[in-house]
Amino acid sequence: MNEIVRLALEEDIGSGDVTTESCVPADRQARGRFLARESLVVAGLELLTQFYEPLWDGASAPPYIAVHKHNGDACNDGDVIAEVNGPARLLLTRERVALNFLQRLSGVATLARQFADAVAGTNCKVLDTRKTTPGLRDLEKAAAAAGGVTNHRKGLYDAILIKNNHIAAAGGVRTAIGQARAASKLEIEIEVRTRAELREALDCGATHLLLDNLTPGDAADWIREIDGRAKVELSGGITLATVRAYAETGADYVSSGAITHSARAMDISFRLELL
C-alpha cells in the first residue's frame, strides 16, 4: 500500500468509524459507484484497490472492484468511473479518503490537459514543477503526466538546476557552472536573469537555460539572441491564459507551478446502493 494512502486512512478512521458502526449492520453488502459530476480528466485510479482490498475486514466476501476508465481519460457528467462491491461498512468508511484522492488528482490531470491543449500546434512542451503538495509529489506528477504535460525533475537529486540563489552563493554564473560540471555528470540547467548572465552562460557552453519572469515579447527577443545554442525553458507566473503566448516565443519548454499548486478538486461523487 502507498504509505500516503495508509496515513490518510489512519487520519480519517482513527479508532473507528463510529457513525457507520453504530447504524449499519456488519453483514450488509452494498455497491458503490464513483461518478463524474462534471467534465474532467480522471487520475489516481491506480489507488482504488489500495482503498479496499488490502484493508478488507474479513466479512463474508472480499470487495470486488471494477474500474471503467483509465488515467488520462476524459469523463463527462454522469460517467461511471469505477464501482466497488463489498461490505457496506467498508465502503462507507473509506468513501471520503478515496474521493479526496480521486478529486485532487483528477483536478491536476484536468488542469494539465488544459495547459497541454493550450499549446497544441507549437513546438513547445509544458513542464510541471516541484510545487506539489508535501507527500503527494509522485501521485501529482503522475496525474500531471496523465493530463498530457511533461514531468520536470522529481526532486533535488535527479537533475541540476542552478537558480539565482545558487549563482549568488557560488559566486557567479561561470563559477556555478564550472563547479557543477566538476561535481556531477547530471544534466545542468541554469537560470539567467540579465543579458550579461545570458551571454556568460552561453560562453560557458550552457545547453539548457531557464528564463524567468520575462514578458512574452522579451522572451522572444532573448530567444532570438540564443539562436538555438541552448534549449530554453520559460517560467514565472505562467498561467492558462498566458501559456500560449509564451509557447509561441520559440521556447522549447514552459513550466507552470499552477498545474499542481492551483488545481481545484474535481466534482466526483460516491453513490451507494444495497445488494
Tell me 148's DSSP state.
T
* CA dist., res. 86 & res. 104, Å (int): 25
- Cell numbers at 67, concatenated: 474500474
Active-site option among 46, 73, 212, 248: 212
Is 231 noted as a catalytic residue in this protein? no
Active-site option among 37, 163, 174, 193: 163
Is 163 noted as a catalytic residue in this protein? yes
Is 199 noted as a catalytic residue in this protein? no
- Nearest CA to 247 among 219, 228, 224, 207? 219
CA 227, chain centre distance (Å): 32
Is 125 noted as a catalytic residue in this protein? no
Is 131 noted as a catalytic residue in this protein? yes
One-letter amino acid at 244 equals R
Active-site option among 191, 197, 233, 252: 191
Active-site option among 28, 33, 125, 131: 131
* CA dist., res. 1 & res. 166, Å (int): 38
Active-site option among 33, 96, 137, 181: 96
* Bridge partner list, 162: 190
What are the phi and psi torsion angles at 233 (to 5°)? -115, 135
Residues designated catalytic: 96, 131, 163, 191, 212
